[in-house]
Amino acid sequence: MVSARRSFEGTLPVAAMSRLCELLASSEGEVRFALDFGRDEMGTEYVDVRARTSLTLTCQRTLEPFVLPVAVDARLGLIRQERDEAGLPPDCEPLLVAADGRLNPADVIEDELLLALPLVPVNPDSSLPDEVTGHEPDAFTAGERRSDNPFAVLRELKK
């Protein structure tokens, strides 16, 4: 595939990626992907991975599902031994392939999507309910407007 500079485009169902599905709230949807194999001017074999999808995760703040758009754009340098990683250009992430040079494109796409997930998924549009925070929104803003200096007591003690 590298010598022929092959390219592949298509879609994969999210449900077909078992490791990814373990982290999702729902396995519905598809991943649109493109893989471009080649060799750069230094002779480094690579695969460019592009994937786009929307994944349903569980927000760790509210414990409710939310949809996270995920986009992957990565260049993976194909290496056969770990010591070959040092010879990769700085813009290449290493991808260790079998001795025969074969790899499963679906596994590569799944790996990149797993790496793109946030460590702790939090819906950016969420906020904690008032009963969890223990204060009323109006009471909080009233406390913020207080003009008392917390160090005024220390200033009085110093006198």
pLDDT band, residue 147 (cuts 50/70/90): low
pLDDT tens for each residue of 54-112: 999 999 988 999 999 999 999 999 999 899 898 899 889 999 998 887 889 999 999 99
Number of domains composing the chain: 1
144 falls within a domain: no
Return d(Cα 85, Cα 77) in angstroms, integer: 8
The burial class, CB within 10 Å (0-12 / 13-18 / 19+), for 71 is exposed
Return d(Cα 140, Cα 128) in angstroms, integer: 14
**Residue linked to tokens 């927000």:** 59
135 falls within a domain: no
**Alpha-carbon distances of 139 from 127, 129, 132, rounded to whole Å:** 17, 15, 15
Q: Which of 23, 127, 19, 2 is nearest to 68 (CA)?
A: 23
121 falls within a domain: yes
Task: Identify the domain containing residue 65 by its residue range.
Answer: 7-126
